[in-house]
Amino acid sequence: MSALTVKDLEHLQRQNPDYQMELVGGEIIIMSPSGLGINNFINLDV
């Protein structure tokens, strides 16, 4: 699997504006709206 890019992050942020996201080491880290959990988003259908 190839590393995710800033373009991928921007695409995800437009689709999910309620989630705080950041790109770290080629993976997109998604913080839940409640702030209680962090998930790695691996599968991206762009």
pLDDT at position 12: 92
Following DSSP, what letter does each residue of 1-45 receive, concatenated? -PPP-HHHHHHHHHH-TTSEEEEETTEEEEE-TTSS-EEEE----
Domain that holds residue 20: 1-45
Report the distance separating Cα 28 and Cα 9, nearest Å: 7
Instruction: Count how many domains the chain has.
Output: 1
Report the distance separating Cα 8 and Cα 36, nearest Å: 24
pLDDT higher than 70, residue 21: yes
Average model confidence (pLDDT) across the chain = 77
pLDDT higher than 90, residue 38: no
Percent of the chain whose predicted confidence (pLDDT) is above 70:
65
What are 1-16's pLDDT values in tens digits?
A: 678 999 999 999 999 8
Average the pLDDT over 13-38 and give the result.
80
